[in-house]
């Protein structure tokens, strides 16, 4: 086996060999985990779990406010490299999730912001090839940006979001009583990733799982209430990242106008939904190049939800990139529309190991993992990466980690054009000033 699996430009044979290798490793881990086998690869590798959770809650009535939209064009500095890396990562992971057979015809919703945060915190303790893979997977060029610059950029991002009443985001580390991590690693996590630190006896796996679940539930206001089912007693560290968004629409929907309507999941499947309705002035852009209509729904803060209604979802998913969001928010025009949006309530749960490996982050799951920055005395590897998210959208706001799409119907005999989300659409929750993506996904069925 070569030192590194090069996933950049592979032949079909190399691709299938890589996929086969990934499948064999996945099957092996599942087997090993199931039978709680202590596998020895020269030296014992202790397990590190990474849990990523997100809850997005947008609730409430907002007064009409003028939204001052600023788009900063940074010089090529570390914060802008991290921002653009985070956006590239968001779309890269989205494509992996959307292409997976297990997610076909399913809603997709997740927080790229939360996943990036957890992996960046982990990279503090990674070295050598493991570190190079993590950085490359996150969209960072290790020859152009240092670990310290990345740490400082994430600290600035967390502190900026911490100033908003809408967002609560952070990280936590749960350490086994008998495990002494490297002091510099812990110092960096507390300083840059604002990490909460707790000690647990992982041998008491039920009590440990309950303690982690309570922490997570508190941080997400009950939206993610059972992150951990059971813990492997050989775990020595759990890293958790969490994000919670609760925003009120700048202009809420009138609940009296919400009625049952039909949502077209596909050509054959129709489902009843509670459809919200509002006739008002909205910011809309129609992108002819990808046959998609984009609606911007601002919160009464520095965040917005973008709803994307494509003529062809597969075409949109193939073409969309961070530059599109910048273009749309710049060129949107305000005019009167009759808008219909379904109420949404969904939860998602993704084991991310396979997708991160497909993105080139292979070694951290492997006996070759070099996480010696976390501890020199123990050989560590990452045993699992799990992401959960929740989304509720209603007249007053939303509770969410989610994926959304847009439906469009134009009725020529009406003076006011109709924009109707009655078929699969995409959704983004972004920060206005930076276009940072807190949440993204697509809604295939608002009821699932």
Q: 233-268, pLDDT tens digit by residue? A: 777 888 888 888 888 899 899 999 999 999 999 989
CATH number of 255-343+402-443: 3.40.50.720, 2.30.39.10, 2.40.30.10, 1.10.12.10?
A: 2.30.39.10
Q: Which of 47-51, 75-79, 221-225, 371-375 has the lowest mean pLDDT?
A: 47-51
Q: pTM of the prediction?
A: 0.81
Q: What token pair was written down for 156?
A: 């600035």
Tens of pLDDT along 374-427? 888 777 888 888 888 988 888 875 443 322 111 111 222 335 788 999 999 999
- Separation of alpha carbons 211 and 198, rounded Å: 10
317 with 441: CB under 8 angstroms?
no
334 with 282: CB under 8 angstroms?
yes
Asked if the model's pLDDT at residue 17 lies above 80, the reply is no
- Separation of alpha carbons 78 and 428, rounded Å: 24
Is it true that 37-247+346-391 and 255-343+402-443 share their CATH fold? Answer: no
429 with 436: CB under 8 angstroms?
no
- Separation of alpha carbons 174 and 379, rounded Å: 18
Query: Average pLDDT, stretch 45-49?
Result: 59
Domain boundaries of the chain, sorted by first residue: 37-247+346-391, 255-343+402-443
So what CATH class is 37-247+346-391? alpha beta
- Separation of alpha carbons 235 and 2, rounded Å: 28
- Separation of alpha carbons 202 and 87, rounded Å: 35
Q: Within 13 Å and on the Cβ side, how many CA atoms surround 248?
A: 11
Tens of pLDDT along 123-174? 999 999 999 999 999 999 888 999 999 999 999 999 998 888 888 889 998 8
Q: What is the largest CA-CA distance in the chain?
A: 75
- Separation of alpha carbons 280 and 260, rounded Å: 21
Query: Average pLDDT, stretch 197-216?
Result: 89
Q: Which residues contact 46 (CB under 8 A, 6 or more apart)?
A: 179, 234, 235, 236, 237, 378, 379, 380, 381
């Amino acid at each position: 086996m070569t030192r590194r699996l090069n996933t950049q430009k592979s032949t079909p044979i190399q691709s299938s060999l890589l996929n086969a290798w990934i499948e064999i490793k996945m099957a092996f881990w599942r087997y090993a985990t199931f039978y709680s086998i202590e596998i020895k690869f020269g030296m014992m590798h202790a397990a590190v779990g990474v849990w990523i959770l997100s809850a997005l809650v947008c609730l409430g009535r907002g007064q009409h406010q003028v939204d001052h939209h600023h788009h900063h064009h940074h010089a090529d500095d570390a914060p802008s490299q991290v921002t653009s890396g985070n956006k590239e990562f968001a779309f890269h992971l989205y494509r992996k999730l959307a292409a997976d057979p297990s997610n076909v015809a399913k809603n997709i919703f997740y927080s790229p912001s939360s996943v990036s945060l957890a992996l960046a915190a982990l990279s503090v303790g990674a070295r050598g090839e493991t570190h190079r893979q993590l950085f490359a997977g996150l969209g960072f060029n290790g020859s152009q940006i240092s670990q310290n610059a990345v740490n400082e950029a994430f600290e600035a991002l967390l502190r900026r979001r911490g100033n908003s009443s809408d967002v609560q985001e952070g990280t936590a580390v749960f350490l086994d009583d008998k495990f002494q991590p490297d002091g510099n690693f812990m110092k960096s996590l507390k300083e840059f990733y604002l990490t909460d630190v707790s000690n647990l006896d992982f041998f008491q796996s039920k009590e440990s799982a309950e303690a982690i679940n309570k922490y997570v539930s508190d941080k997400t206001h009950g939206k993610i209430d059972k992150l951990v089912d059971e813990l492997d007693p050989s775990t020595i560290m759990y890293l958790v990242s969490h994000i919670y968004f609760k925003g009120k629409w700048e202009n809420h929907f009138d609940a009296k106008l919400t009625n049952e309507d039909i949502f077209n999941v596909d050509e054959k499947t129709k489902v009843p939904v509670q459809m919200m309705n509002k006739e008002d002035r909205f910011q809309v852009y129609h992108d002819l190049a990808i046959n998609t209509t984009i609606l911007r729904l601002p919160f009464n803060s520095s965040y917005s939800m973008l709803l994307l209604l494509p003529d062809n979802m597969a075409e949109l998913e193939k073409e969309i990139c961070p530059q599109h969001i910048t273009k749309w928010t710049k060129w949107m025009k305000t005019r009167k529309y009759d808008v219909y949006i379904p109420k949404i309530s969904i939860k998602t749960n993704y084991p991310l190991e396979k997708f991160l490996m497909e993105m080139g982050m292979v070694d951290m799951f492997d006996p070759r993992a070099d996480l010696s920055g976390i501890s020199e005395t123990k050989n560590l590897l990452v045993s699992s990466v799990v992401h959960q998210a929740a989304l509720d959208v209603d007249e007053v706001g939303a509770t969410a980690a989610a994926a959304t799409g847009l439906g469009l119907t134009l009725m020529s005999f009406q003076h006011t054009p109709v924009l109707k989300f009655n078929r699969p659409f995409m959704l983004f929750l972004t920060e206005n000033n930076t276009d940072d993506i807190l949440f993204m996904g697509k809604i295939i069925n608002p009821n699932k």
